[in-house]
Structure 1
Amino acid sequence: MGVGRMGTQTMDQHFIVMMIPHHDGAIAMADLALTRAKRPEIKELAKSIKASQTQENAQMRAWYRQWFSQPVPSWGPGTGWGWQGDMGGPMGMGGGMGMGMGHMGGGMNLSALSTAPDFDRAFIEQMIPHHQMGVMMASMAQTNSQHPQLRAMQQAMVKAQSREIEQMTQWYRSWYGTS
């Protein structure tokens, strides 16, 4: 792989191209929670996730244009990159950071979430592994990140999402009696 290089793409380019749709998944889940969640704690968490990840996406898009002189390429359904099962993803990444991103991390399923009989439980069951994937991606990427401001964002992502995972784990244990 080389230091910070993945083919002709830098680790920073790859991270941004992968993290934006990952964040978009969490934002979509948060949007659902704002209308379907019963517990105010879930609604507050959803507001926080939506706000922070929308801001991070905007910042990553701006950095990408500034650093790489082009807009962030999109991928997903209809873009030829594939979502389900195709681990190729953008830039042909088969492993490393691309691992699991064909599913946006943690088996996220918006249609199952939108119809879940116990939305709050299903939200936690999907958001924890989704956040765990985000933490893994940001942790791996900061090792080779070439831009200190992106590395600082990655560190902040790891800290915030780890804290949210711990909070959701506590709620789950308290509300449902299991881990």
Structure 2
Amino acid sequence: MGAQSMDQHFIVMMIPHHDGAIAMADLALTRAKRPEIKELARSIKASQTSENAQMRIWYRQWFGQPVPSWNQSTGLGGTGGAGGGMGTAPMGGGMGMGQMGRGTDLTALSKAPDFDRAFIEQMIPHHQMGVRMATMAQANSQHQELRLLQQAMVKAQSQEIEQMRQWYRSWYGSP
């Protein structure tokens, strides 16, 4: 895969991954009990919505077309389109999306008896996947501005992971 197609691939994969975190954050804004979780959710929603908008602009500038939906570009997933429907998709689209895309089940999260704990337990591995994706992509990215965004993603999400781990230890004991 050439550098240009690596940048295309990263953007096509990262946007639905961010959409997953944004959907989890939206849920946290209404379901979380702890103000710390709500504040983190606001931060995740703001930063990842902004990053998605920027990646969409760059994609159009660099590749002359809008970002294709995740399903069309990869052939993975089946039931949900990019964006809204993926989190509640039963088995069909869920498997590919669970591994590469969002990695969470919003229905289960929304019904968790201890939402705050479930949110942390799902957001940490979700962020870890995002950090891995951005770290791997940096080495091969052709566009400096995308490399800088990837570095910012790694830094922000790594800090958020550490914060969530501290909260988890403090609130629930060792993970």
Runs of 4+ in 1 over 4 A off after TM superposition: none
Work out the number of aligned pairs and report it.
159
* Inter-CA distance 25–44: structure 2 relative to 1 (3 Å threshold): same
Question: Equivalent residue for 1:112?
Answer: 108
- Alignment partner, residue 95 of structure 2: 85
Percent identical residues: 79
Structure 1 position 76, deviation (Å): 4.4
Q: Secondary structure at the match of 1:146?
A: coil
Which consecutive residues of structure 2, in runs of 5 or more, have no partner in the other structure? 78-92
- Verify: 1:27 aligned to 2:22, yes or no: yes
Alignment of 1:18-167 (within 5 A): 18-76=13-71, 81-82=76-77, 83-86=93-96, 100-101=99-100, 104-105=101-102, 107-167=103-163
Report the Cα distance in structure 2 between the residues aligned to 1:109 and 1:63, rounded to whole angstroms: 30
* 3-state SS of 2:94 partner: coil
| Unmatched tracts of structure 1, length 5 or more | 88-98
TM-score (norm 1): 0.84
1:100 and 1:170 mapped to 2: Cα distance?
A: 26
Aligned mates of 2:62, 2:26 — CA distance in 1: 31
In the aligned structure 1, how far is the partner of 2:94 from the partner of 2:71? 9
Q: Secondary structure at the match of 2:69?
A: coil
Q: Which structure has the highest helix share of the two?
A: 2
Task: Measure the CA separation in 2 of the matches of 1:85 and 1:45.
Answer: 27
**What is the letter of the counterpart of residue 131 of structure 1?**
H
CA deviations 1:18-65 (Å, max 9, x no partner) are 000000000000000000000000000000000000000000000000
Aligned partner of residue 100 in structure 1, secondary structure: helix
1:115-149 alpha-carbon deviations (Å, 9 max, x no partner): 11000000000000000000000000000000000
- 2:80 matched to which residue of 1? none
* TM-score normalised by L of structure 2: 0.85
Q: Secondary structure at the match of 1:169?
A: helix
Distance in 1, Cα, partners of 2:76 & 2:173: 40
Distance 1:76 1:28, change over 3 A: farther
